[in-house]
Amino acid sequence: MFKGLFKNTRDKGEHYERLAKSYLQKQGLEYVQSNYYCPYGEIDLIMRDSNCWVFIEVKYRQSNRFGGALAALGHAKQQKLIRSIYHYLGAQQLHNVPVRVDFIAIEGKNPPNIQWIKSVF
């Protein structure tokens, strides 16, 4: 289990999303929104990099066994993320704007290893 550090899986996910948000803000990205939910799925983080809208998937794994966090962005998850991004853009009436999809893979702890992959697909 989580040995008292987190109440549940959602709490754990939110912790690592906050860590990713802080990391990306230090890299110069501007925070827009967390946890955008729609009928197609969820977008973990929405940020801006100058005029580009950046949609970020965050994954945490304790270790790199079984491929680690990098292996967690499979085809089905990518398709859900794409549909969710289109939904967000439509809902916000954002048309013909530059868009990028990034991936934050976090592994281990004390301190965790953060990998930022820009334009993951």
Delineate the domains of the chain, giving CATH numbers in brackets.
9-117 (3.40.1350.10)
Per-residue pLDDT band for 74 (boundaries 50, 70, 90) equals: confident
Region 92-99: mean pLDDT is: 96
Give the C-alpha distances (Å, rounded to integers) separating 89 from 25, 66, 82.
22, 34, 11
Give the C-alpha distances (Å, rounded to integers) separating 100 from 2, 35, 53, 110, 117.
33, 17, 6, 30, 11
pLDDT at 62: 78
Beta-carbon contacts of residue 90 (< 8 Å; ≥ 6 apart): none
pLDDT at 65: 65
Backbone torsions φ then ψ of 20, nearest 5 degrees: -65, -45
**pLDDT tens per residue across span 11-57:** 778 899 999 999 999 999 999 999 999 999 999 999 999 999 999 99
Closest by CA position to 81, among listed 41, 34, 37, 35? 41
**pLDDT tens per residue across span 78-91:** 999 999 999 999 99
Count of CB atoms situated within 10 Å of the CB of 103: 24
User: What is the residue type of 75?
Assistant: H
